[in-house]
Amino acid sequence: MTEVKRALILGIGGQDAAYLSRVLLSKGYAVVGTSRDATLANRVGLRALGIEGAVQIVSMAPTDFRSVLQTLRRHQPDEVYHLAGQTSVGLSFEQPVETIESIAVGTLNVLEAIRFEERPIRLYHAGSSECFGDTGDTPATEATPFRPRSPYAVAKACAHNLVSNYREAYRMHACTGILFNHESPLRPDRFVTQKIVRAAARIATHSTETLRLGNLDIHRDWGWAPEYVEVMWQMLQDPHPEDLVVATGRTVSLQYFVERAFANFGLDWRKHVSSDESLMRPSDIRYGAGNPSRAREKLGWHFTRDVDGVVDALCASARDTAKACPGH
């Protein structure tokens, strides 16, 4: 009999962790997920995908080295997917110390604990396109220098470099996926994409609200989260780990996203959206573009939904939710 592979997903409450759990379970893995407090863990995503009962959830604090080491020793994973840490760029300006600790120190603890174990554990680290800063019109590749413009991006850049250093210095099978924006119906309302789509859905059902947004002239590459988690698994199956950019290669403005979302509900966005300076960030990336050619070349990874498909799918989900739960 083939021994069952064990995967440990750090930060089980997020969007990516839920979709990744589904992928790993479909491949026959035993999946353990961590949360700072297992009794309070966010299970919404797992529940929505119908896999809540298939994932064991345990308590682990990434900022506590002993907690990380004990978790590895107790559950003996073959693969670790490090998706934990503060996830909001905006919040990082308000809580920079917590952001640096949860992302950079947390990643260092994970790397050190794996090194202490002296077993061939493979590590995937969730990086971020925010590390590149403003790419201009030239899509970022794996060789593009980092120019972070937020505490979140600074922390992610540090974590990225730690993973690279441990891979080279200790011959660890560790790699970072440099993911550009990726969305799904599992995103919470604090993400601007869901804020837009759900507001449009409410307005279409006779809400009189006005949607307030910050800078509509920022440009991003938006992809589909269920497709992006596939590459996480693929990266750990490759015998020669390296860091890879994951993107669609198409960048559009936030205004384009808003216009398409409202059009999905038969609305003219200009009648329902206003710009609010209080929602502007202290520093923001005007243009973010990624080149995923290396991931395609090395792993054969490809996507099927660019921003148009993403917006349409989010709107379809919001419409279905509105029908099932009037007044949502």
DSSP state of 61: -
230 in active site: no
Cβ-proximal residues to 66 (8 Å cutoff; 6+ apart), any chain: none
102 in active site: no
Of 81, 152, 166, 228, catalytic? 152
Of 29, 102, 130, 227, catalytic? 130
Cα-based distances in Å from 47 to 141, 196, 315, 323? 36, 24, 21, 20
Which residues make beta-bridge pairs with 34?
Answer: 10, 58
Segment (H or E) for 279? none
- In angstroms, the CA 214 to CA 274 distance is 8
Of 21, 35, 92, 128, catalytic? 128
Burial class (CB in 10 A: 0-12, 13-18, 19+), 298: middle
- Per-residue DSSP letters for 101-113? IIIIIHHHHHHHH
209 in active site: no
- In angstroms, the CA 3 to CA 77 distance is 12
SS3 8: strand
SS3 82: strand
Find out whether 322 and 167 touch, Cβ atoms under 8 Å: no
Q: Pairing mode, if any, of strands 55-59 and 174-179?
A: unpaired
Residues tagged active-site: 128, 130, 152
